[in-house]
Chains A and B, each alone.
Chain A
Amino acid sequence: MSDDTLNKALFEFLCRMGDNTLVLGHRVSEWCGHAPVLEEDIALANMSLDLIGQTQLWLGLAGELEGAGRSADDLAYLRDAFDFRNLLLVELPNGDFGKTLMRQFLFDGFQSLILTELTRSSNERVKEIALKVKKEVTYHLERSSDLVVRLGDGNEESHRRMQQALNELWPYVGEMFIDEPEDKLLSEAAIAPLPSSLKARWETLMRPYFAQAKLNVPDEGYAHKGGKHGTHSEHLGFILAEMQFLQRAYPGSTW
């Protein structure tokens, strides 16, 4: 395998990592000023701040590796929907507070597992970012799991909403664990794990929380997919329209 092929695979992978945090960070930031209570508003804003900060690291490295002079900002603001590599899960509309939290929880579980693997990456730069980001994500998972349990095992209404959120989001979980051709190359080079290798661990990590939250895990195996190679739902275009407006309308503007 040539260095070039591996480099391209790594670029794809870093875009997946960075686009997940970028799109989820943008989604979560939509709560700013709208959350049910002030403390949650602040927490959600801080979460999205973490996610956008992590995006800088992933996309910054992607741009550097690509060697075409694109910065993290260029990648975030000047690519079109078909160039985005995020999971469909993270671009879904927020729904209610419970659905936002459930999505966060499903993602945090996956993220904490993949980051654990990346802290052992053979690529020093990837490893360095993973070691930094893992600390933040561990904290995110602590928060989202705690709230999922409290609301799932809360009152009738909160339980109903959490179960509904899980049912609606479940078909978007499978995509996390699909291996793409790039994943195989990166796994052989010990740079990143095969997503499929994380599935069993994810189940082991998440099931006890679902049980504690008194939530039934759907047994449906169907998975929506396409995000990892640029086939997105209609929702991503709307996010980009809002997020990229300024740079599209006034190219290169700074403040």
Chain B
Amino acid sequence: MSMVQASAVNESEIRQWLEEVPDPEIPVVSLVDLGVIREIKRDGDTWLVNVAPTYSGCPATRIIHDDVRAKLYEKGLRPSDFQVVSVLSPPWSTDWISKSGRQKLADYGIAPPQPSGKPKACPQCGSSDLELVSQFGSTPCKASWRCRSCLEPFDYFKCI
């Protein structure tokens, strides 16, 4: 693997690399789409990559950090060239999920978060006749809903 100089890359390049890293639990969206990649900045000879946790207990947080490190290494940075930092403040919000991220979620069958706190339409058939099954779904960030028109259950990305 060829090495690159930490000083030869810039912030937007690193951000582009991280767009290739899928979320470990919802692999259709990248970490950048999800909005967890915050500030990327130089501190002396080191690149600091700030990552916001989604839910404080989300088991994917550790994997996300590892995946970021692995990607930067794969792109040729040495482990001493970068540091992944967990930042709590400001707290991650579903508002930070990108527009393309929302579309990718919907295409995948997960209703994207809505300011109203409930899904707008069934990701399968588009109907708005929906009911809540449970406030928690398959991961801490999702709730379970069901469509009364096509009867399909689906995940809804909770709005926080």
Contact = CB atoms under 8 A, between A and B. Distances in A.
Contacts of A127: 89
A178 B56 CA distance: 28
A131 B92 CA distance: 10
Describe B's contact surface by its main secondary structure: loop
A53 B55 contact: yes
A142 B91 contact: no
Contacts of B91: 131-132, 135
B17 to A, nearest CB: 27
A43 B136 contact: yes
Interface string A42-64: 11001101111110110000000
Interface string B38-64: 000000000000000101111100000
A128 B89 contact: yes
A247 B111 CA distance: 42
Describe A's contact surface by its main secondary structure: helix
Contacts of A43: 134-136
A53 B136 contact: no
Contacts of A185: none
Contact of A54 (B57, B90, B92): B57
Contact of B57 (A40, A50, A131, A135): A50
Contacts of A57: 56, 88
B56 A136 contact: yes
A43 B143 CA distance: 9
B76 interface: no
A49 B134 contact: no
Given A42-B137, A47-B136, A49-B140, A136 B89 contact: no
B144 interface: yes
Interface in B76-96: 88-93
A138 to B, nearest CB: 8
Contacts of B4: none
Interface string A125-140: 0011101110110010
Interface string B90-125: 111100000000000000000000000000000000
Given A46-B140, A128-B89, A135-B160, A54 B56 contact: yes
Contact of B55 (A40, A50, A142): A50
Closest 5 CB pairs of A and B: A53-B57, A53-B56, A39-B134, A43-B136, A49-B57
Interface of B: 53, 55-59, 88-93, 133-140, 144, 158, 160
